[in-house]
Structures are given as structure tokens and as C-alpha cells.
Amino acid sequence: MNHPLASYAVCPEQSRGRGFCEKPHPYRSPFERDRDRIVHSAAFRRLEGKTQVFSPGANDHYRTRLTHSIEVAQIGRTIARSLRLNEALTEAICLGHDLGHSPFGHTGESILNKLMAGFGGFEHNGQTLRIVDFLEHPYADFEGLNLMYETRLAFARHHSPYDRPRQDQFQECNCSMEGQIADIADRIAYNCHDLEDGMRSRLIDEDQIKEIELVRRARDISMADSVDDYVVRRTRTAKAIIDCLVSDCIDGSARAIEASGVKAAADVCNLPQKLIVLSSDATARLVELEKFLLENLYCHDTLLEANKKIEKWMTSVFEELCNDTAKMPGYFQQMIPTEGLKRIVCDYIAGMTDRYCLSLVQ
């Protein structure tokens, strides 16, 4: 059943619109068009070949940046619908939030940031904006995808324990609640699914997670311990954690919204605090899971050893392209005079899939 949007939801009629004016579409809303432009972009397709935790191809069931983005969108839409917020805008933000990620996940991002020291650095939220505002070029009338202001603002303000936006051109201290949903949906998705993939890889043992409170609760709710099949137990546990956190977010956010007294979407962007939130108990339990994953998965010797190789590979490719720009497509070569050599090499590498980047290693 469709419910009318709440007064504080973002609606197209009150939007700040697009940088380049376009005629309204006959049967799609502006935010539906944003979603579709993101889905049809080359950067979105390349997410299929980019690392979430494990490199694509290592196992057909591991998450990639693409499958992660789709899962974030599903969680985000559920929260938006329950709170009567703009579902199409939420979906667009969720689907596009990782467009700027480099190959090899956060390791690749850290390496590019180091290579770009003194030249503006590299941060994937800023790169997402650069992609949608400049690097994608499917239209003759304007650069980029010409997305709606609120979609772009949410990309700039995307924040999680692993995403820390830098200074940008936006004046608002916050983004819409639809953008805030993307933050929490992202955090819920990657923690639960990284746990599941960590168990799938056997880098995390089932006995290790039994004392984590979120896991204990999820296993009780899903009756995972009554199942003999390890794969079923693992999957049930991850899904039950998601359900617990999403339910908590919907309830906690509804209370926070009511207590804030906001009446319009513009009010939300001027608030210093988030209104899409988890309860203090759920936050503490999620932090406990994040700490476990950092210590036992992201810093596992197997992944740390791989990270050392990745740094050598990406540095080699970066230096080679700086020395021989003819190895880049003409589209990138022609931007060097205005954008700078290293920035364009960084743009080119950031857009690569893991596999393509490796193919350039000498």
C-alpha cells in the first residue's frame, strides 16, 4: 500500500533541481531518473569487478561493490518506505554511494590517497561526485549525469566509520533523511555481509562469534543453532542481524524525527544531528561487531599479506601511466592540460576493476 510522503521528505517540487535545466520526463520523477542514470552508468557496471572484502572471482558468492550497493538499496528502500520518505531518492543514493571506490577496496583507496599526496589526495566520496558531475559523459548537452541537488549532497555527506567526507562546495551541515538512510543502510549491509563472507572464507570461525551480542540474539531469533547445515546457520544469522538492526533503525528514527519537530526537508539539512539513527543499545552492539571484524577479518594475516602486493601493483601502474600517458584512452589524455597529469591518472585507475588493474602490472 502506498502512503503519502511525510512533510519532511524530499519532494521534487521543493528540490533545488539540476545544474542544467531539463524538461520533465512524462512518466518518471526526477529522482527516478537519477536512479536510472546511475544504474546505466559505466561506473556502476564496473562495480561488479571491484573488491568489497575479497577480490571478485575468488568465489562466486563473495560480495562485490555492485552486489553490496544493491543490498544497501534494498535495506534503504525498506527504511524509507516505513518512515514515509522519498523511496526513489533513497534508492538512487544507495545505488550510487560507492561509485567512486577504487579497485581493491579501502586498501586501494588508501594507496591512491598516498600516491596523490600533494595533489589533493583521494577520497571515494569526493570521487563519486567527480564521476557523476564530470567523468561520466553520456549526454551531449552537459558534463556528467546532471543529477538532482539532493542526490549529489547525499554523496558528499556520506559518512560511516570508514567514510569521512572532506570539505566540499556544499554549505549544508547535513543531508536529507533519505541520504542519512543510505549511511545506516550501508553500515548495516557491510557489517552483516562482511561477517557472512568472512565465515564463508573460513577466515572467521563459527566459534569466534558466539560471544558477540548481536550474533547471539540473531541466532536465538532465527533458531540457527537448531540447524545442522553450517551454510544455513551462517545465512540465517546474517539475515536476522539485518532484520534486528533495520527494525531498531525504523523505531529509533521515528522517535528522533518526532522529538526534533522538523516539518520540512530543508529543516533537516540545517540540523547538526542525524535523525536516522539506531538506538544506543543497537549502536553499542554494532560497534562490538565492527571491532571484531576489524581485528579478525580486515586485519587477518591473509588479507594484510595481500594488501602489501596490492600496494606494489597499484604504485607500479600509477607510475607507468604517469610516464606514458598514451597507454590511457584518448578521453583521459585530452583532460590532462586542464585537470593535471596525476589527477587524470588517478581518475583512470580509480575507475578500473581489480582484474583490469592487474592486467596492466608489468
Phi first, then psi: give them for residue 64, nearest 5 degrees. -110, 175
CA-to-CA separations, 101 to 130, 196, 197, 248, 282, in angstroms, rounded: 12, 22, 19, 29, 28
Q: What is the pLDDT of residue 165?
A: 59
Q: Is residue 25 part of a domain?
A: no
Q: Is residue 76 part of a domain?
A: yes
The pLDDT score that the predictor gives to residue 336 is 98
Cell digits for 170?
A: 556544499
Question: Cα–Cα distances in Å, from 342 out to 115, 121, 237, 346, 361?
Answer: 9, 10, 45, 6, 18
Give the three cell numbers for residue 256.
528522533
In our burial notation (b when 16+ CB lie closer than 10 A, e otherwise), range 293-316 reads beebbbebeebeeebeebbebbee
Asked whether residue 201 is assigned to any structural domain, the reply reads yes
* Cα distance between residue 95 and residue 67, in whole Å: 10
DSSP state at residue 131: I
Q: Which domain holds residue 204?
A: 30-359
Closest CA to 31 of 74, 72, 70, 88: 88
Phi, psi of 51 (to 5 degrees): -60, 135
Quote the pLDDT of residue 65.
94
CA distance 176 to 172: 10
Domain membership of residue 267 (yes or no) is yes
Q: What is the DSSP string of 60-78?
A: TTS-BHHHHHHHHHHHHHH
- In which residue are the cell numbers 535495506 written? 75
Q: How far apart are CA 172 and CA 57, in angstroms?
A: 41
d(CA 72, CA 96): 10
Domain annotation covers residue 18: no
**Could you tell me which residues are beta bridge partners of residue 163?**
160
Residue 81 located in a structural domain: yes
Q: Which CATH number do you get for residue 117?
A: 1.10.3210.10
Q: Name the amino acid, one letter, at 48.
A: E
**Nearest alpha carbon to residue 133 among 30, 248, 43, 198:** 43
Q: Which pLDDT tens digit goes with each residue over 46-80?
A: 999 998 887 666 666 788 999 999 999 999 999 99
Helix ranges restricted to H, the chain: 30-39, 42-46, 65-82, 87-96, 105-115, 124-130, 149-157, 177-201, 213-222, 230-260, 265-269, 280-293, 301-323, 330-333, 336-339, 341-350, 354-359
Count the domains in the chain: 1
Q: How far apart are alpha carbons 77 and 82 in whole angstroms?
A: 8
Query: ∠ CA 92-163-112 to the nearest 5 degrees?
Result: 105
Low-confidence residues of the chain: pLDDT under 70: 1-2, 55-60, 160-168, 362
268 inside domain = yes
Q: What integer pLDDT is reported at residue 1 of this predicted model? A: 47
Find, among 241, 338, 224, 227, the residue nearest to 292 by Cα. 241
Question: 333 in helix, strand or coil?
Answer: helix
Q: What is the 3-state secondary structure (H, E, C) of 165-193?
A: CCCCCCCCCCCCHHHHHHHHHHHHHHHHH
Supply the pLDDT for residue 227: 81
| DSSP string over 335-352 | THHHH-HHHHHHHHHHT-
Asked whether residue 332 is domain-assigned, the answer is: yes
- What was the pLDDT predicted at 231? 85
Asked if residues 161 and 187 have their Cβ atoms less than 8 Å apart, the reply is yes
pLDDT tens-digit series, residues 329-362: 999 999 999 999 999 999 999 999 999 999 998 6
CA angle 248, 254, 257 (to 5 degrees): 135
Q: What pLDDT score was predicted for residue 309?
A: 92
Task: Report the C-alpha gap between 275 and 255 in whole angstroms.
Answer: 9
DSSP code string of 295-331: IIIIT-HHHHHHHHHHHHHHHHHHHHHHH-GGGS-HH
Q: State the pLDDT at residue 169.
A: 78
**Whole-structure pTM value:** 0.94
